Amino acid sequence: MEDDDLFFQTTFNDILISPNDQLFENIKRPTCQHCERPVQTCLCSHLPDTPLKLKQTTVYVLQHINEIKRPLGTVQLLTKCLDKESLNVIRSKNFSSTKYPCMKQVYNNPYTLLLFPNQNSSPLDELLKEDFYKNKHITLVAIDGTWNEATGIFNRHNELINLKTCYLKIDKGSEFVIRTQPTEKTMSTIESIAHSLKYTEQNDDIYDIIVRPLKRMVSMQLDMGACYHHDKLTLINNNEFKKKCGKKQYRRLLALQH
C-alpha cells in the first residue's frame, strides 16, 4: 500500500494529526492522548464517554488525500464519536473496488446511499420512508474534501455514479463557520453525517452528540481570533468574493441549494 494512500479505521487517528492542526499553532504543544488535540484546546469533555455504536447504519467516508493537510478537519472529530465498526475512513484519490476490494460489497449493496446532492438525488428522510429502505441496515457513503474535490472523485468513479444519491433538507447554516462552505445550506462532513444518522438511526439526540465537539472547537477558535467565514455563494452574490468565479462554478453552487 502506498504511503499517501491509506485505508484506516478509527484506531489510526494519529495519521490525521498534523502539526498545523490548529490555526494559531506554530510550535508543537503537548497533545491530549485521547482526543489528540493540543492540551490547551482539549475536546474530551465534549466527546461521548465511549464512541457510539450504530445500530442501523455503517458509515464510509471517502476522504480526499488533500483533506489530511487541512487544519481542523471534521472527520478527525467524527472518528472520536463513532466506534470502529460503525465508521470506516478511506484516504485516497482512487476509491475503486479494484484498489479497495472491501468496497465491492459497499458498491454492490442495494442499501448503500451516497450523500451527494445532484440532479438525481432524493431527500434522505423521504427515501428512508419508502418500503424498499424501511428498517433496513443502511450503508452511508460520504465524500470528504472541498466541493471541487468531491465532484472530481464522484465523476471519476462509475461505482459511485451508479449508487443511489441523497441529500439533506437543511433549515439552518453550518456550525463550521471558521471554514468557507459552498452555500449557506451546505454543511461540513461531520455535520452531514450527524444529520443523516438522525434519520437512519431514528435517533433525535445523535446529531447534538456528534456535533457537540465541533461547536466547542469552533467557539475556541473564534475566541482565539479565527475569522468568521461567510459561505461562497453569499459572498459572490454580494460581490464580496475575492477570487474569480466562472459561470459553470456559479451554476454548480446554485444546484447545491435544494
The binding site for Zn ion (CB under 5 A) comprises 32, 34-35, 42, 44
- Grid cell 455563494 is found at 233
The residue among 194 and 217 lying less far from Zn ion, judged by its C-beta, is: 217
**Cβ neighbours of residue 256 closer than 8 Å, sequence gap 6 or more:** 117, 147, 182, 183, 185, 186, 233
Q: How far is the CB of 144 from Zn ion (least distance, A)?
A: 22
Q: How far is the CB of 233 from Zn ion (least distance, A)?
A: 35
β-strand 7-9 against 87-92: which pairing, if any? antiparallel
Q: What DSSP assignment string belongs to 229-245?
A: PPPHHHHHHTT---S--
Helix (H), strand (E) at residue 188: none
The residue among 74 and 112 lying less far from Zn ion, judged by its C-beta, is: 74
Q: Are residues 58 and 137 in contact, defined by beta-carbon separation less than 8 angstroms?
A: yes
Q: How far is the CB of 191 from Zn ion (least distance, A)?
A: 21
Q: How far is the CB of 217 from Zn ion (least distance, A)?
A: 11
The residue among 34 and 137 lying less far from Zn ion, judged by its C-beta, is: 34
The residue among 43 and 226 lying less far from Zn ion, judged by its C-beta, is: 43
Report the distance separating Cα 37 and Cα 29, nearest Å: 9
Q: How far is the CB of 46 from Zn ion (least distance, A)?
A: 9
**Measured on CA atoms in the order 201, 43, 180, 5, is the torsion positive or negative?**
negative
The residue among 44 and 235 lying less far from Zn ion, judged by its C-beta, is: 44
Report the distance separating Cα 104 and Cα 107, nearest Å: 5
Q: Are residues 191 and 74 in contact, defined by beta-carbon separation less than 8 angstroms?
A: yes
Helix (H), strand (E) at residue 175: none
The residue among 32 and 170 lying less far from Zn ion, judged by its C-beta, is: 32
Q: How far is the CB of 83 from Zn ion (least distance, A)?
A: 18
Q: How far is the CB of 247 from Zn ion (least distance, A)?
A: 46
The residue among 196 and 221 lying less far from Zn ion, judged by its C-beta, is: 221
Q: How far is residue 215 from each of residues 84, 113, 123, 188, 229, measured CA to CA in Å?
A: 23, 27, 25, 12, 15
